[in-house]
Structure 1
Amino acid sequence: MANKQNSVSELFLHRITSTPDNVGIIGRRNNQWYELTWKQIGERVKKIACGLRSLGLEKGARCSILSGTRPEWVIVDMAILTATGATTTIYPSNTPPECSYIINDSGSVFCFAENDTQLKKLIEERPNMPGLKKVIVIDGTGSADGWVISLNDLETKGIQWDKDNPGLYEKDAKAVGPDDLATLIYTSGTTGNPKGVMLTHSNWVYEGEALGEMGIMSPQDKQYLFLPLAHSFAKVMELAFIALGVPTVIDGDVDTLVDNLMTTKPTVMGAVPRIFEKVYNKVVTGAREGGGVKFAIFQWSLGVGRQVSALRQKGQEPTGLLLMKNNIAHKLVFSKLQAKFGGQIKYFISGGAPLSREIAEFFHAAGILVLEGYGLTETSAASYVNRPNQFRFGTVGLPVPGTEVRIAADGEILLKGKGVMRGYYNLPAATAEALEPDGWFHTGDIGEVDKDGFLRITDRKKDIIVTAGGKNIAPQNIENTLKTRSTYISQVVIHGDKRNFCVALVTINEETTGKWAKDHGISYSGYADLASKPQVKDLIWKTFEEVNKELASYETIKKIHLLDHDLTIETGELTPTMKVKRRVVEKRYQSVLDAFYGETLAKL
């Protein structure tokens, strides 16, 4: 696939000059929505880029962004790249020492901090970051010693630098090459320090144009971007909207997501499976609580929707009586669910973690298509994706144009193509381990390709459980099934590696389980108290008993323990994209897990 532009800088300059008056970004300030045209975006990017040049930014020098998802994140990112620098991403949830590690390891000379909360982390770690020359605060004021300056002050410096160096900004931005470093994204390792993944301008240009070639988005769409821009999934959605000129709402506030979707009415949105799981649980629980006629109508509508979904999965459309029934189901049930997303959604793109097939089929039955994709930070996020007119639930779709796949003898997925990273920053041994000399990248995922080219992911290679009896178990599929079957379950972590049988750590959905407890006359004082009730454990265990019947004997879960809190990003047990940090959870509750097997040994 031929790239029209060589770099993200060139891609961005092309966008602002070819469609200057089109809306590029929709943002929210003080609860008021505003629009920015590409011309306005370009002007602000130039001021910030020139401001960085005035501070002495050299080609290839790293600048970190420590901020939540907001329009300024994208504007600053484009400014760093057009100023010939490279962006290092830091999650706003990172602790001060984690921020310090990334800034030092990447060699970042400047860091953009979102506000006083993020700035405080940097001030705390300042003695440990001797190479960090200056901090630019987006919402805030500078410091007396000049180490912190405001974004407005940087823009003022940029205006002067541009006057003193006319035409130099555009000249240098156009000179950025395809193999130049664009982004350093640190993968959140479950053990040891995170590794900096080096992604080039060529990687991102390839991804942006590939999404256009596949028809995933067009300028007629409106994208909603709420995912953390420090993550590669959000980064690829950022590049797509710049490459294709798609107006994009940028707002990372998850608490107001549903209200914002109803207001902004997007047509496309990327999301992680946890979002779909929460919506599914809320809808199913609400219908069940409606009882009687309401629940009967919901079940009837869902049955009709599943018949229509089955047809559409074969590329056919409903006719006659089924079409009439589906129109009624849409009016009575599905239109209300679609309205929660703004009523204009053509499809969602799911990534970052495996999506349960049952969840995908539920949404499709309700007239909402969820296209699951797959990729890693090391492959610039998008390597496989289901297409709007070519999808198969339970798979991650077909390869992105230009990406090759190979399944190793042990089932590991190997990928090759223009999206594959340059390597891990300053880690030649780790790079050599993951990346073969001829360009094949070892993903660490186990999967299979069907006869039509659709890829199905089984599990992470390192997460595969090998029991004491030598049996292999893929825990993710079982965990997803359990979460889908019960609206009372929030998270499940199955454990059993080198053990005689499998057990599980479980967290409950406080809202649904709390309602069930009250309906059954069970009083409780909080999450921990609710989780400790034997009746609640019995309720959760029923789902395990149901699912156990469908599993091979060696896969069945013999015992469960309900944790006294749900897993969150704040507790360090979920990644920023809401994936469970399996090793962290297992280590934290080692004594609980050991006790399961200790009891068995005592009985023997």
Structure 2
Amino acid sequence: MSKIFEFAEPLEYVLRWEKEKPNEVYLTQPLAGGEVETYTWGQVTEQARRGAAYLKSLDLPAGSNIALVGKNSAHWIIADLAIWMAGHVPVPLYPTLGADACTYILEHSEAKLLFVGRLDGVSDSWNELAQVLPETLPLVCLPMSPVVRAENSVLWDQLMRDFEPLQEVILRGREALATIIYTSGTTGRPKGVMHNFRSLTAPAGCSVNLWLPDASDRMLSYLPLAHVAERVAVEIPSLLFGFQLFFNDSLETFPADLKRARPTRFFSVPRLWTKFYQAVNARIPPAKQRILFSIPFLSSKVKKKILQELGLDSVKVGLTGAAPLSAEIISWYRKLGLDLLEVFGMTENCAASHAARMGEVRPGYVGTPLDGVECRIDDTGEVLVKSPGQMMGYYKMPEETKACMTDDGFLRTGDRGELDEMGRLRITGRTKDLFKTSKGKYVAPVPIENMLGAHPGIEVICATGPGQPQPFALAVLSPGALNPSSEEDKNRFAQEFSTHLDEINQQLEDHERLNYVVIVKEPWTIESGLLTPTMKLKRNEIEERYMKFADHWRAQNQKIIWEG
């Protein structure tokens, strides 16, 4: 176990960049119509200081919790810095948060104020949230925020005019509470995970010798900053190392935003890596790729062109996490020349846990412990981790905090796993995801989903079947996988996917083999409540919606079933 590099709290580095490179661009924000707005380190810190001066003027108790809701934007980062500069604690909320969860978090965290950021009420839940915000809760409306109630609210631009920059920035030290990150709530109520500045910077300290970041790096921020992964993989490293961040405007502009950023470090989730893979396969079929890749004078040009079209040609480090990614897709990226490395972590250990290392990649494994991290598997198969990123605990939940820790300080991850001879970890599923068939056999759905989901026509898939004789799967098709009104297209896909299912079933134990796959009608989205804000399956909700049809589907005695 190697010693990690210990960073000071992020504000110390921000103040350094303010002095050393005030005129260098830090944040690039896309606007409507293809325009962009840039903010230098000097501009970012000046605005943050003015925002902090406003917060100080409110005479809130030291270390008050300040909520922040909005999609990723330059001013999300600036507001985060302003809260820290004033000596308070940011509590980020997902922009797709439901009204009940929003009300709960605001009350549970005892938030004294809410920053409202970039929201549109269409691709987020603002219209729902606006109805439940307490009238007594002060609001600060950041640029690109929606129209909010006039009472008890103030515009950011007004603060910039009315307040001089705060001169004495408050530095509270590495052990001070830095943020409360509420879990995305795959099961039950969200829990407020408390991190101090020591644990918040630990992922960078654990991996600095692995990724070798520096001030010349560029990253695109588009996964929710309210989630721990984007916070510690993108925002915090940019503050510590002083590199440039770009933002994404919308799903439609994502390709252009990615090409503008030409990131040198790119962190994403399996769903997006899979979409890239499927998009390339749609334009250049795999059979044609194999031919092109085999021709010496063409191979490198074609591979480089593919990465350029994706906006990934400058990527030195590609990271994937939050869920498993199929070995086939990882291998495809490696053939293109992009070393795609899996990472594993949790909100509770600030994502400072495991990562694959170049030259030691084993498909299906999330790598070895990062520097300073210990890992073991207990008698039940659960992965236990002790990390420098370990949380301070759950906010106002001492019993829950105690329950998730062992007596010797290891975090109970809730994941099942196994280690190979090199100490590389393979996640075999969640302990709570296991389900029992009517034959009394337990099934771990994640490995099955991982294999089935490698098919280019599948957007997302859920293996399930508690109480059924055999498991089955529910699948959402990728956009454009077929013409839903064409029976010929549907028959072709059903035949093709049936073959894929047979191949997968041959690799499974008898009790794991899928009886059938249902192609569902409606897409699963964050807004529909079937995916978390980080696009993980909400199994309880999915099963509640679909399990009542299982007996009917099984009686049809077909491999591929189209939801009526």
Instruction: Calculate the TM-score normalised by the size of structure 1.
Output: 0.84
Pick closer, same or farther for the CA change 1:333–1:296 going to 2, 3 Å.
farther
Shift of 1:363: 0.9
**SS at structure 2 position matched to 1:514:** coil
Partner residue, 1:587? 544
Partner residue, 1:558? 515
Counterpart-to-counterpart distance in 2, 1:116 and 1:472: 44
Shift of 1:456: 1.6
Pick closer, same or farther for the CA change 1:278–1:3 going to 2, 3 Å.
closer
Range moving further from structure 2, 492-501 or 557-566: 492-501
**What does the per-residue CA deviation read over 1:281-320, in whole Å, with 9 as the maximum and x for residues that have no partner?**
22223223xxxxxx65412245x4xxxxxxxxxxxxxxxx
Partner residue, 1:299? 290
CA contact 2:384–2:411 (8 Å) conserved in 1? yes
Shift of 1:116: 6.5
CA contact 2:228–2:350 (8 Å) conserved in 1? yes
Counterpart-to-counterpart distance in 1, 2:120 and 2:358: 42
**What does the per-residue CA deviation read over 1:55-97, in whole Å, with 9 as the maximum and x for residues that have no partner?**
2233211111110011111111111112111111111111233
2:163 is the counterpart of 1:150: no
Counterpart-to-counterpart distance in 2, 1:499 and 1:119: 40
Partner residue, 1:292? none
Range moving further from structure 2, 112-121 or 198-207: 112-121
Shift of 1:345: 1.9
CA contact 2:471–2:512 (8 Å) conserved in 1? yes
Q: Match for 2:143 among 109, 119, 138? A: 138
Pick closer, same or farther for the CA change 1:390–1:219 going to 2, 3 Å.
farther
CA contact 1:406–1:415 (8 Å) conserved in 2? yes
Shift of 1:140: 5.2
Counterpart-to-counterpart distance in 2, 1:300 and 1:271: 29
**SS at structure 2 position matched to 1:275:** helix
**SS at structure 2 position matched to 1:448:** strand
Partner residue, 1:35? 38
**SS at structure 1 position matched to 2:185:** coil
Pick closer, same or farther for the CA change 1:301–1:263 going to 2, 3 Å.
same
CA contact 2:5–2:206 (8 Å) conserved in 1? no
Counterpart-to-counterpart distance in 1, 2:297 and 2:107: 58
Partner residue, 1:500? 469
Partner residue, 1:46? 49
CA contact 1:9–1:78 (8 Å) conserved in 2? yes
Pick closer, same or farther for the CA change 1:215–1:191 going to 2, 3 Å.
closer
Range moving further from structure 2, 4-13 or 198-207: 4-13
2:82 is the counterpart of 1:113: no
CA contact 1:53–1:158 (8 Å) conserved in 2? no
Q: Match for 2:276 among 276, 279, 285? A: 279
CA contact 1:384–1:398 (8 Å) conserved in 2? yes
Partner residue, 1:376? 346
Partner residue, 2:92? 89
Q: Match for 1:217 among 206, 213, 217? A: 213
Pick closer, same or farther for the CA change 1:252–1:378 going to 2, 3 Å.
farther
Shift of 1:29: 2.7
Q: How many equivalent pairs are there?
A: 549
The letter for the 2-side match of 1:63 is I
Pick closer, same or farther for the CA change 1:494–1:296 going to 2, 3 Å.
closer
Pick closer, same or farther for the CA change 1:424–1:230 going to 2, 3 Å.
same
Q: Match for 1:247 among 244, 248, 251? A: 244
**What does the per-residue CA deviation read over 1:227-285, in whole Å, with 9 as the maximum and x for residues that have no partner?**
11011110002101111112221225332121222233221111110001111122223
Pick closer, same or farther for the CA change 1:233–1:347 going to 2, 3 Å.
same
The letter for the 2-side match of 1:111 is L
CA contact 2:5–2:208 (8 Å) conserved in 1? no
Pick closer, same or farther for the CA change 1:350–1:556 going to 2, 3 Å.
same
Counterpart-to-counterpart distance in 1, 2:395 and 2:383: 23
**Percent same amino acid at aligned positions?**
29
2:187 is the counterpart of 1:200: no
Range moving further from structure 2, 418-427 or 334-343: 334-343
Counterpart-to-counterpart distance in 2, 1:211 and 1:451: 22
Q: Match for 1:574 among 518, 531, 538? A: 531
CA contact 1:71–1:251 (8 Å) conserved in 2? no
**What does the per-residue CA deviation read over 1:425-460, in whole Å, with 9 as the maximum and x for residues that have no partner?**
111121111123432110001112222232221111
How do residues 303-314 of structure 1 correspond to structure 2 at under 5 angstroms?
Answer: 304=294
Partner residue, 1:57? 60
Counterpart-to-counterpart distance in 2, 1:544 and 1:473: 17
Counterpart-to-counterpart distance in 2, 1:296 and 1:469: 42
Shift of 1:349: 1.0
Gaps of 5+ in 1: 289-294, 305-324, 523-532
CA contact 2:276–2:310 (8 Å) conserved in 1? no
Q: Match for 1:455 among 425, 444, 455? A: 425
The letter for the 1-side match of 2:161 is T
**What does the per-residue CA deviation read over 1:128-156, in whole Å, with 9 as the maximum and x for residues that have no partner?**
x3662344343358878641111112333
Pick closer, same or farther for the CA change 1:349–1:333 going to 2, 3 Å.
closer
> Which of these two proteins has the greater Rg computed from alpha carbons?
1
Counterpart-to-counterpart distance in 1, 2:187 and 2:220: 33
How do residues 135-534 of structure 1 correspond to structure 2 at under 5 angstroms?
Answer: 135-139=140-144, 146-159=151-164, 162=166, 167=167, 169-170=168-169, 173-174=170-171, 176-236=172-232, 237-251=234-248, 253-288=250-285, 296-302=287-293, 304=294, 325-388=295-358, 390-484=360-454, 486-514=455-483, 521=488
Counterpart-to-counterpart distance in 1, 2:501 and 2:110: 49
**SS at structure 1 position matched to 2:483:** helix
Counterpart-to-counterpart distance in 1, 2:259 and 2:189: 40
Pick closer, same or farther for the CA change 1:445–1:263 going to 2, 3 Å.
same
Shift of 1:398: 2.2
Pick closer, same or farther for the CA change 1:15–1:4 going to 2, 3 Å.
farther
CA contact 1:177–1:201 (8 Å) conserved in 2? yes
The letter for the 1-side match of 2:45 is G
**SS at structure 2 position matched to 1:462:** coil
Shift of 1:597: 6.0
Gaps of 5+ in 2: 558-564
Counterpart-to-counterpart distance in 2, 1:46 and 1:182: 18
What RMSD over aligned residues (CA atoms) do the two structures have, in Å? 2.6
Range moving further from structure 2, 227-236 or 564-573: 564-573
Instruction: Calculate the TM-score normalised by the size of structure 2.
Output: 0.90
Shift of 1:464: 2.2
